[in-house]
Amino acid sequence: MKRLHFFMIRDTRTREDYERAKKHLESLDGILRVEYEMDAGIVGIEYEAEKISKDDLKEEAGKLGYRLLV
């Protein structure tokens, strides 16, 4: 089942940080789309819940030094 979830993203300071997080998340199995609003500090992730969970997304962002908050 497809899900779209919005997270607050922390510890990102530049457009390059957002692009780095986006590229990494898009590379994961089960991710359909990643979009962000830098000024608001929000990232929207559309994903297949059967393949990846919200906790997995948080863990993957953490590997890059970023935090996703619900």
- Residue 70 binned pLDDT confidence (cut-offs 50, 70, 90): confident
- Which amino acid is it at 35? E
Domain ranges in the chain?
A: 2-69
CB under 8 Å to 13, separation ≥6 — which residues? none
CB under 8 Å to 44, separation ≥6 — which residues? 4, 5, 6, 7, 33, 34, 35, 36
Sign of the C-alpha dihedral computed for residues 13, 39, 36 and 2 taken in this order: positive
Architecture of 2-69 per CATH? 2-Layer Sandwich (3.30)
Does residue 55 carry a pLDDT above 90? yes
Q: Is 10 helix (H, G, I), strand (E, B) or coil?
A: strand
Write the pLDDT tens digit of every residue in 13-44: 999 999 999 999 999 999 999 999 999 999 99
Tokens of 18: 């957002």
